[in-house]
Amino acid sequence: MGYYNSLYIAVKTEISQRINRREELRILQGFIQGLSGTVIEIGCNAGYLTGKIALVGNVTHAIGIDTNKSRAVAILAKIRNLGSGVKFMYGVSGAKIPVEDRSVDAIVLSHVLEHFVNPTEILADISRVLKRDGQLVVAVPKEKYLGEFTPDHKILFRSLADLERILDANGFKAIEAREIARAIVVVAKSVA
Ligand SMILES: C[S@@+](CC[C@H](N)C(=O)[O-])C[C@H]1O[C@@H](n2cnc3c(N)ncnc32)[C@H](O)[C@@H]1O
């Protein structure tokens, strides 16, 4: 995942969030409004969405984690979220979340799952840290053809069914879902 360890990718992500992903982010933020307690965003990048999570009335702790070790990205995340109480952990993988079992109310995973060759790696650790009634909010880009957009996408999601299949196989059940032209956004619960 060295590809992501740079400010360049963070800037690209920020631009895409504002231009190509406006409808998706509106849906995602709608789902995020329903979260409460301790919420971790895995793959937080420069903390754009983590800051929105921290503003949700019932969220008590917002934590962003990312494998990215770029100092510039960490500084940007910190500055833009000054005073919000958000905690960031960089150089940390969502497949090894540094928190206790069953201690987290919700996880947000936006444009991360498609980068895993084996999604069980990350979904198993999410299952471990989520409380029994915890929620997983997942957004993935929707693709039509193999490798159409980026070779860095290891799983290509063409429909909601593709995402549901992976969630089901890893002990999660979708309870809310929206599929739009460019993305799929789901709220799921652990049934393990
Ligand atoms: C395409 S960006 C998405 C950023 C943001 N979540 C969004 O929705 O725009 C993917 C992010 O996931 C991070 N990432 C990739 N693999 C990860 C892992 N195993 N654990 C935590 N973060 C990871 C990358 O460093 C990058 O910041």
Closest ligand 1 atom number to CA of residue 41: 6
Which tens digits make up the pLDDT trace of 67-77? 999 999 999 99
pLDDT at 124: 97
Could you read off the pLDDT of 85-141 as tens digits, one per residue?
999 999 999 999 999 999 999 999 999 999 999 999 999 999 999 999 999 999 999
Q: Name the pTM for this structure.
A: 0.93
* Ordered domains of the chain (ranges, CATH): 2-190 (3.40.50.150)
- What strands, in cross-sheet order, belong to the sheet with 172-179? 87-90, 59-66, 37-42, 104-110, 130-141, 183-190, 172-179
Q: Tell how strand 172-179 and strand 183-190 pair up.
A: antiparallel
CA 9 to ligand 1 center in whole angstroms: 10
CA 84 / ligand 1 centre spacing (Å): 21
What does the mean pLDDT of the chain come to? 91
How far is ligand 1, taken at its centre, from the CA of residue 176, in Å?
Answer: 23
At 4 the pLDDT is 57
Confidence of residue 33 (pLDDT cuts 50, 70, 90): very high
Which of the four pLDDT bands, split at 50, 70 and 90, describes residue 149?
low
3-state helix, strand, coil in the chain (%, to 5): 35, 30, 35
Q: Counting every residue, how long is the chain? A: 192
CA 28/CA 55 separation, integer angstroms:
14
Residue 148: pLDDT band (50, 70, 90) is low
Residue among 26, 42, 21 at smallest CA distance from 121: 42
